[in-house]
Amino acid sequence: MTTTFLFLPPGDGTGPIRWARADDGRVRQGEGLPADAGSVVAVAPADAVTLHWAELPARSLAQATAAARLLAAEASAAPAAELHVAVGDGAGERPIAVAEAGAVRLWVERLSSLGVEATALVPAPMLLPDPGDAWVRAVLGGQAVVRGPGTGFTDEEPLTGIATGGVVPAEVNDADLAAVLAAPPVLDMLQGPFARRRRRAGIDWPLVRRIAALAALVLAMQVAVDAVRLIRYSGGADVLEARADAAARAGLPRGAGGGADADRRLDERLRALRGPGRGFSAGAATVAGAVRAVPGAELTSLAFQPDGAMRLGVAADREAAPTELRDALRSAGLTVDAGTFTSNGGRVTGEIAVAAP
């Protein structure tokens, strides 16, 4: 694609726009905006940009720009906050462009008013070939520009003679100038706050469909994993239920059979063996704990009644022991019905009936 260079007017930027284009080794120039502009590179006036060359960090553009700002602040009388600093590509010494941020903003606004979206903004001296240790000159966009070792500026006498030490810059031929215009810009000032915004690409529907298919596959795999897990849990529950039923049948008398109500009949048998109320085992343990808590009291007999109550034969070596035992049994949560205690030979004996409340 043909690249058109639009030269921004010097001064307040209200002058006419000029253009240049490389065409078959020649440079064509004109005024206004060509109808077939193609890709547009804007050119900043040489008198509004100061150029430097310096060794800068090559790791990232942000680090290089930060180092370039320090150099620009030392070489410029304007406050650093009012300067726009851009760093070019390359190895070793890299070009640095310094301009007033307000001027760059006016250039961008002028391009926008013309309906032009420039792919880059380059200083006018950077359109001349690198002269090495010599000096070269060309007229670009109606402005004579000079480039020399580590610098570039507008050709104005007597300042040019002072800068070149009296050396007359050589005129750049069309072939060399066209070669520079056809090459990618080495220094683009559209950086930092003036960087071009990337246009959002349209929706990539094939990509959207692939993502949707992958999401559906992941969802299906998750559902399949959950289904397999539920089947395994259901099978495990069936195995445990079968084992519990087998254990229940084993606890039933011979000939009692199994079936779905084996666990119910096992519970009924356990209640029959255990007895009503708290049952024999729990009730006897409670009574024994209460007797041990009363010094001098002992249990001489224990009869478990069909209704779950117990009749206790108690003996003690002191008269207060039966009363203390009644209190201990009540504290254990039992209903106590004490009989008559008699004293014979220094021992107190009698019976106590206990039951669950």
Q: How many domains does the chain have?
A: 3
Q: What does the pLDDT read at residue 271?
A: 60
Same domain, 231 and 159: no
Query: Alpha-carbon distance 123 to 113, whole Å?
Result: 21
Q: What does the pLDDT read at residue 211?
A: 93
Same domain, 285 and 270: no
pLDDT digit string, tens, across residues 23-43? 877 888 888 888 777 789 999
Same domain, 16 and 69: yes
Q: What does the pLDDT read at residue 157?
A: 85
Q: What does the pLDDT read at residue 219?
A: 93
Same domain, 227 and 159: no
Q: What does the pLDDT read at residue 36?
A: 78
Instruction: Tell me the residue range of the domain where 226 lies.
Output: 220-251+260-274
Same domain, 97 and 145: yes
Return the structure tokens found at 190: 């559209």
What is the identity of the amino acid at 286?
Answer: T
207 belongs to a structural domain: no
pLDDT digit string, tens, across residues 232-247? 888 888 888 777 777 7
Return the structure tokens found at 22: 């490389």
Q: What does the pLDDT read at residue 261?
A: 67
Same domain, 239 and 285: no
Whether the full predicted model's pTM is greater than 0.85, yes or no, is no
Residue 324 belongs to domain with CATH number:
3.30.1360.100
Q: What does the pLDDT read at residue 13?
A: 64
Query: Alpha-carbon distance 313 to 303, whole Å?
Result: 9
Q: What does the pLDDT read at residue 351?
A: 92
208 belongs to a structural domain: no
User: What values do phi and psi take at 146, rounded to 5?
Assistant: -120, 140
Q: What does the pLDDT read at residue 276?
A: 59
Q: What does the pLDDT read at residue 214?
A: 93
Return the structure tokens found at 189: 């000032």
Q: Tell me which residues of the chain have a pLDDT lower than 50.
A: none
Same domain, 238 and 344: no
11 belongs to a structural domain: yes
Q: What does the pLDDT read at residue 257?
A: 55
Same domain, 341 and 298: yes
Residue identified by tokens 């199994």 is: 258
41 belongs to a structural domain: yes
